[in-house]
Amino acid sequence: MLSTFFREFVDLNGGLWPTVRDLTLRPGRALSDYLRGATKSLMHPGRYLLAAIVVAFAARQASIWIGARVPYTAKVSGVVSNDPSSEVDPETTRALQSVVVSIADQVMESQSFLVASSLLLAGLLSLTVWRLFRPRFERGAQAVAFSVFTVAHAVFLTTALRCLYVPAAYAGSGKAVAPPSLLVYGTTATYISIAVSRALGGGLKAAAKGLLALFWAASETGLLLGIAIGAYFFWRARTQVSEGSSIENPTVSFEANGTTLELGALGALGALLLPFLVQAGIEAYYRLR
């Protein structure tokens, strides 16, 4: 993986740098030319996504090493608190906290999580873009390539944003910081909407459809990752916390307008699958009509 990254890194004609330049300065023309068959103008989309992940992971680790970024293990260190009024005993609370910190270290801080989240987002975005802009693509593979390029470049842009913001804010305050979420998400949404409208045509309407595709794909990505991490957490909790504790039959509570709904943990995770059933129904409708 690293050898592929460095080979593309030093290729000045058709490697990483020309692709970054073109997708930054003229994303519409670069992507439309690629979709029309000028595939040599940009590097392979899969390798571009790989390069984006490597750069993002290296930048994140570097910011942690210099103390400019708070790792996930520190962010979740107090997520499970020992409330005196709670029925959960202190020993169970400590065991659950240990599980949360361990999962944060093994999952959230790993490069595998970056790979999985980026691939999921690109894959789900390609399905949505293919459905919303079907006349603009000759093959499904073109929608996949388009989505991979836009997601990968969004990763590059947000990484560059963090590299500029975090050290400057850290130097000014002396504390570990993170760029505002609205700034990060806004950068991603702005870039993808511009890339969609200029590469696929359609102006503001296409940009709005691109934002819809991004929102839907990002929501499904978050749900899938949440289901996987939640299931892993409950499995770890049940195996590491002593039998007879309240974690044996966990429930998840949802409260709205004074009404509280309690679901079993597996039922709550299953409820998160509803958006995927909706998309499957929409796909079936368009295929069978």
CB 122 within 8 A of CB 98: no
CB 48 within 8 A of CB 86: no
Q: Give the residue among 76, 68, 138, 124 at the shortest CA–CA distance from 102.
A: 76
Please say if the pLDDT value at position 5 is more than 60.
no
Please say if the pLDDT value at position 28 is more than 80.
yes
User: Mean pLDDT over residues 199-216, rounded?
Assistant: 89
Domain ranges for the chain, please list them: 2-217
Please say if the pLDDT value at position 43 is more than 50.
yes
Please say if the pLDDT value at position 236 is more than 90.
no
What stretch of H or E contains 251? strand 251-256
Q: Give the residue among 24, 18, 21 at the shortest CA–CA distance from 41.
A: 18
CA–CA separation, 20 and 27 (whole Å): 10
Mean pLDDT value across the chain: 78
pLDDT score at 265: 57
For 253, list phi and psi in degrees, rounded to 5: -105, 135
pLDDT score at 13: 53
pLDDT score at 255: 47
For the beta carbon of residue 222, count every other beta carbon within 10 angstroms.
Answer: 14
CA–CA separation, 155 and 283 (whole Å): 28
pLDDT score at 149: 96
Q: What percent of the chain has pLDDT over 70?
A: 73
Please say if the pLDDT value at position 228 is more than 80.
yes
Quick: pLDDT tens for 252-282.
544 444 444 444 555 666 667 777 777 777 7
Q: Give the residue among 206, 73, 200 at the shortest CA–CA distance from 146.
A: 200
